[in-house]
Structure 1
Amino acid sequence: MQPPVTPASSAAGAPPPPPPPTTTCSTSCRFVLPPTRRHLLASSASSLLLAAAAAAAPRAASSEDDDAVTSYDPVTAAERAASASVSRRVGEAVRLLDLGRDLQARGEFPAALASFTAVATEYGDLSLSGYARVGRALVLYEEMNY
């Protein structure tokens, strides 16, 4: 796409004004920015660069203080240990639930009942113990009907 053709000036000898600068994009469209807008964009960009440099300068001066503090971890060792303990308990409960489902699918109802009962009694404080209670009920029902 070509810039628009400007008509010849009525004053003889005066060259026509130059076309405004354009910026092209990858889809061959053109955007024309007026000179005041270009100046505003350039001054905004330089202001941002100056502000970023000014903000980084005080940080460089305080980096000596940061050397004393190597890192900050918001999780304490006690919280980490408690989380690991809960993770182990949940993992064991899920393992017993899966074992109960496998045993139930194979028709080994007494072993499945024991697995579901272990989850319901030992891990009753976990919300997944509800699944164990449902599993127990299903195993008892299937055991009576076989």
Structure 2
Amino acid sequence: MRGTAQARQAAGLREALGEVRRTVAVLAALLRDATMVVRKAVRDIRTTPPPPAAGPPPDPATAALCRVVDDTTADAEAMGALLLEVAAAYLCGIEAAGVLALLFKQIGEPLEHGLAARRYAMSGARRALLRTRFGAPVFR
């Protein structure tokens, strides 16, 4: 009797283990799918270009200034993307500053400008570039 009870108990445990493994496999697949959806959404948000302007400004000087601003922000985005390779997005500003300080000291660029470019690459918000060489105004 004792052997039969233990055999039934072992069979029940094996069946339960099989159910747990199937559940874990389903949850892992759902997690993979959710991770892919979130990564795609983040990539789409970061790479979505700003809406085009209604048209070029009628004043040639204003049009030239707009091109300079667009080129400068494109440079900042490219620099920020490179900095995200060095100091990943999950690092807070203080941790990123610690990682990037030596790099910016060596290239002779203010660390604040690099951190601003990194923030811009993460957010896409031009206000992240204010008070740096990438954005205006800078009063010294």
Same-fold call, TM > 0.5?
A: no
Which structure has the larger Rg over C-alpha atoms?
1
TM (norm. structure 2) is 0.30
